[in-house]
A and B are shown apart, each in its own frame.
Chain A
């Protein structure tokens, strides 16, 4: 079964708007929640990550909000730019390999 559920599958946002991508999980043993950004033809690159003892983490225009009781976490991209157009993956870790969501294709239009 899918351990990390990501939504939406695709997202279109106007330049300057806020992009929000959500993920939900069931396994309470997960202890690390990264978000990866992937451009076509490239491997995923770590964007931002959070641990479950923190409810929010911000790095520049990117913010992770984490709700431990609801077992949900989300990525917010403020002031979205066309250069942010990419596929975003949430992930979670228990032990060693990461468990990934299915990805969200974000398109930021001018």
Chain B
């Protein structure tokens, strides 16, 4: 079946503009994660959605970052008033179940965000 898809694949924006990044998880996957990958760095956790529970927002670096997941499926990560340090690859991952019986996360190809 189809994997995790993300759009756009690349986004160039001017400093101060808002951007929206989209993630379509694998159908039936109840858990969804957003990570950020900066050049030369590992993946930094941003936010996690599990089923219908309130999301874990503990990784969001500032209040300019927010995310929502509609209908338990598609998720949108929004960055307001973008800064140059926001430039990174934003990766989405989904997981079959939110409980401990399923560990594997499946990643999308990412959205490369460049803030000029």
Chain A contact residues, CB within 8 Å of chain B = 4, 6, 32, 34, 36, 41-46, 49, 89, 91, 93, 96-103
Contacts and interface: CB of A to CB of B under 8 A. Distances in A.
B105 A102 contact: no
A45 B50 CA distance: 21
Given A97-B56, A97-B59, A41 B109 contact: yes
Contact of A100 (B40, B42, B98): B42
Nearest to B100: A31
Contacts of A89: 42-43
| Size bracket of the B interface | 20 to 34
A97 B42 contact: no
17 contacts: A34-B103, A41-B109, A42-B110, A43-B93, A43-B109, A45-B107, A46-B104, A46-B106, A49-B103, A89-B42, A96-B98, A97-B33, A97-B59, A100-B43, A102-B40, A102-B41, A103-B41
Nearest to B42: A100
Interface in B77-116: 91, 93, 98, 103-110
Contacts of A91: 43
A32 B108 contact: no
